[in-house]
Structure 1
Amino acid sequence: MFRHTKVFRNFLISYLVILAIPSIAGYMSYRTSINVTTSVSIENSVTQLQKSKELLERRMAEVEGLTRQLAINQDLAVLINERATQESVNVYGIWKMMRDVTAVGQTNDFLRHFFIYLQNYNVVLAPGSAYFRPEHYYAIYHYADLPFEEWREQVLDATHRSELIPLKEFVSGTQRTSVITYMQSLPLDSFHDTSPAVVVVVIDEAAIASLLSGITDRYGGWVRVGDEQGGVVSLTGIEESAVAAMAADSRFDAGRISQFYEDDLVITIRSEKNGWVYQAGIPREALLENANKIKSITWTVTGIALFAGLLVGLALAYRNSAPIHRMLTVFGQEAKTGRNAFDFLQGNIAEMITNNRKLESELRRQQPLVRDAFYKRLIAGEFQSREEIVAAAVQSGAGLGGNAGFVGIVQINGYSGMNDVEVLNELSAARLILKQAMLDLAGPVPITELGADKSVVMLFSEEGSEGAFDRDQADALFRHLSELLFREYKISVFAAVGNPFASITDVSLAYEQAKLALERVDPTRTNDKSVVWYGETKPESDTYYYPLDVELRLLGTIRAGELEEAKRIVRMIVSENKDVRELSPEMKHQLALEIKGTLLKLLDQKTFQESEASVDVKARILALQSTESLDAFQAEVDAVMETMCHTIASKKNDMHVKIVEQIKSFVGERYSDAELTLYRIAERVERPEKYISQLFKEVTGTNLSDHLEQVRMDRAVELLKESAHTIDEIASLVGYNSSHSFRRAFKRVTGVSPSAYRQSVEN
């Protein structure tokens, strides 16, 4: 498949480079998206922790607000300032105060568990309960690792100013939990070692953790809140030892708000109000969940795109390198030379372009000569059919402009018999002036030289069309030409014009008539006439009219099988001899013998020798007699020519059918060759490309390219009915370089795709 490896690699590398450019841009965009997504996730996490901090600070502010409310409570102030004795206890005041504080704990879960210790009464007031001895309270609520005496000394008997006991294990009845403890002495301005009263708020860690659950519930990480002295206020999802190890690690910067430490994003926020430190650890995978989704989708799509791009690159590289390889094969470059293929092609193509330009320049230079040669052949009657004349006119670039018109011979007077150099130069200049004058009068008309002092002018136009030449116009044109040349340049000319022709095949006859008119008239004795017409002259003898060129044209027309043209030539011969001349019976007989001889010459051809009708035709020719009128003789000749042209046409058709069958046979043998072209077929049948293309269309009614495609499709249908080959293999087997071209051609011919056709057959 990859025979042209070097060219193929060059194309493939180019496509891969083109594919790499958007891939690099896509990777940069992907990295930007990942970074933006990561930044947004980190920012959201910091914001979430900041909100949790603010909520916790508000709740702690409410706790502090409780102590300030109690400090200004009149009933509590009365109890604090009373002197208590065993005989006098303000039971009502204590009961009333206990009732008042009961409602406070229902508004804030941080105030669910608090008490007021009255030093003078040695009473612990809690919502819903009053303990007249602290031991009773301690029996139900106490720290797991703190004895009663220490608890009394550190909590009840000490003076506190918004103090906080870090997280400790706490026993509440039969349950164990961890709590922090907020303590405030009353009144607020107590400065003694002991204070009259102490407000103690026991805050369950679960209540604090609920405020920080926004991070742990979302990401499943850990949260730690520490007080200003480093004590633990709340700890969820991690051991304190791990936090301590992280803080001691030199890789961890405690001053940064966010940083990645091992597999976690660690966020650190310090409160400006109380100095607490809030830390949250979020697993990297959870934080980058969206980024990982983007990464997964991006890599998947990129991988598929790269794979598809590689396949497309391979296909395009093969498709685009195949023509270059074929060109290299045509130019004959050997792969082992190591020469760059594109440089090689550039050199050869540049050389071809240079040679082509030289050829075009040479053709342009020789075109006037080719055109003049065509005009000379046209007036000499060397063409056998109208189609041949039209084809030669197109090839030479001679614009005839119509089928009808006139032929005139313009002779420059005064130079007869003079052949020295100076005279020839004067005649050459005179002919150029004559051409320019004719161009000014009638536009571009075909003119060719006839000797040194004569020029043949052909006036063409479509018969019956607007602007067509008639006899009067043609006569006036030649007279104006003569007057203009004499008036402007003192050049005397004389024009002899033949009868009008109605077909371009009669140009030679009109020329012969003009030549005869020129021969019959002495330009010096025309009574000042500058134009003479063939019909105005009389022949010098009574001999019959049947020139050699007319005979040759008649032979060529019959050989070509063009019956109507042959009849027209015979009609012209008869008209010339009947209307213009008065022939004696002997001359008529002699003319009939000449025409019979012409027809007998045709019987010597191989076409008639192999025909069964040759004997009958020969007998009919020999039976031709001129005893009757020339019109009757013409009718008999027409009948014989009709038979001969029919025989020739039949032979031509047989030959054409044979060539077409040869073409079909060759196509049937070589349809699988992707290099099968019109040139290869023409080379096989030894005919020009245009000829076999037109011939095939005429005989079969189908274009040769369509026939080749149909043959390939018929074979493809047979292969699709089997299951031994894939569609790509079938495309190669029926002569297509690419399966895409095969699929398009198959659908265009059959109306369905190859895969759909195979499925319909299998079902």
Structure 2
Amino acid sequence: MGVEKGGTAAMRFAKWPEQQHLFVRLMIPYISFMVFALCLGGLFYKLTYDVVKDEVTGSNMQLLDQVKETMDIRLSEINTIALQLLNDPMVLSFARVSDPFSSTRTYKVLETQKNLYSYNTSNNFVLDYYLIFKNSNLALSSNSTYELPAFYNYVLSNTGTDYETWRSDLFSTYRNREVMASGSTQYQGKSYDMLTYVQSLGYPGSIQGALVILVDNRKLKSLLSGVDVSDGGWVSIIDNEGRVVSALSGDGTIPDLDPAAYPADSGIIEASGKTNDMMVTYTKSSYNKWSYVVAQPPHVVLGKVLSIKKITIIVVLAFLLVGLFLAYLFATRSGKPLVRILSTLTERPSGKQPRRPKDMYGFIQNSLSTLIDNNAALQDEIERQAPLLRESFYERLLKGEFLNENEIDTLLRHQHIEIAGESYAVGILHFRGGTRGINADALRKLDVERVLIKEALRLALGESYYVHDVAEDKIAILFVDTAGDSIRFRRMIEGAIAGTAAEIGERLALGLYFAIGGFRASLLDVSGSYEEARQSLSSVTYEEIVQTAWFYDLPSENSLFYFPGEVENRLSNYTKAGESGELRRLLDSLYQENFQQRHLPLAMQQLFCCEMISCLVKLQEQLMLQYPEEVSSLLLQLNATENLREVYRSAADIFLSMSEEADHRKKSRNVKLIDSILVYIQEQFGQANLSLDAVAEHMNISKGYMSQFFKEQTGTNFSEYLEQLRMTEAKALLANTGLPIRDIAEQVGYHSTNTFCRAFKRGSGLSATAFRESAAG
């Protein structure tokens, strides 16, 4: 028994070297694979470490860039606000006022203040702003007016500076978009840490005032609060002169900085003795050359990188120990453990966590999507309204209702229409398709034919395609000559007519009858071409399928004078409006038409001059102007001479005199009238029955003229002006008296308390009760 046990032990000992050799042979592939995996993992780790380090060190740069972009945008908005305020005509006008509370200048103070907009609702960096005027010694904002001593003592003052020093510095030194460094400032009785943006009003050597915009420094520090400033770190904003605009540090101290230490636009400076063992990240704004600097201890900046490094080493060691253990375990087995090891290694995750995307702009994207949808809906609505506006424009153009070319150009730009050429002509297309009755089927058929004809015109005319429906079966066409050659212009029109006829002939059995008026050099005169086209259309015989009638081809022996009704209307309108330039051009046009282009008999010339004198008599009555001797002289001259051109010139001189007198009367009367209206409104605004009709009746003018005149002179509607005046008085009563709201409503001109409350909340955004409580607080 003992011999057997001893033999067995001897046999195991004899096989141990062979087993060790097999163990080594089995271990070598696992160890080799593990070493290769560790080397490959080390390479990936090195690459990952570098990428993560770059991302971590770049996070501060990204934050600084965000702060820089935000500051650039906000400062740009503040510059825009300053530009709008300093270019406001009312602000520029008020800067010259030296005695603001004399006579009617009090209204100028109120109007200037009312014209100011509360920009802190659209820019949360703006705490408030004030326009400070040197001549009037006033400080104005959107909701308050102060004399400068009271303004400095109770609203805005600098610690350690008296009023005279502050005022002298403000009005003696010209500042252009200057941002003062942050500091302690007394604002409305409270201490604020704020920046002050100053823009002088006027120019160097003649400063008329200044715009002061207050920026709450807490807003800037909230932008910088995303930076980790623990363990002695700090972040700061430095202006182009090296002054600290705003700073944030872990121990509350503001570092002494030198902008020359950051020569490049942006960069990262590794920790060293020069940086007090801090890793510095900085960037500069191309907008205003401000520097944005962050300094942090390396362990704070590279905390994530060091953490990854520590975790990676632990994982590698664990992987190495587990790998050795598994290699030993699998090496002691046969092929099955080897397969299991290979399977486990291939199915085992690499240990690298997938990067999860961050939804940083989810809310912005949703808001932008909503804005785009709303904008698209608005554009669709504008597009739907555009054809109606164009139709209205063409109708007024053909009727000659425009007084000058500036009005035409303004409407063209507003409707995004480009009509520019050397000359113009109007044609009328009359299309007929047999006997038609006035019924639904006939009208639908006309609509189809009109659409097809417009499509044919578009193909024939290309981009210079302007049409207007003047009847169910008539279309007015505006032709534009861009070359300035009348012969080529006529050929172009004839080609368009031929192309349209050919296109329509293939689709519909219609008779097409074109009537073309004369050429005009200005859009203001195309109404005359339209009248000529109508005259030409009357000469069409309708004997052929396609027929064209040119005004220039009508018989030259025209024995009728030219003075259509629309020209008489324009003559009267120009005279009453005081448009002497346009009136002179129209009179010259009538002279050329009737005395140079037409060979009128003497009797017809007399009739024409009689029509002109009749128009003069009408205008005398309408304008209440007296020219009895001049008109009598014209009548005597008309009967005594055969040189009727001199009679026409004398009549034209009287027209021009009337126009100049009407213009002078209108200008001198406007100043007196608006002053009288404003005084009357100020005296009567507490009457509930005060209205546009009542004021117009009191001033002996029409309601329509009163409405248009008041808007032109004050820049606001009568109802809005009256409501603002009443609300100003109501606010004063609410803040300074204990009267019930019902009594206040009656005093400022409201029958109903509900109507007053709705008007008050609409104008101020607060209910009357809430306003009284806020004023009391």
TM-score norm. by structure 2 comes to 0.36
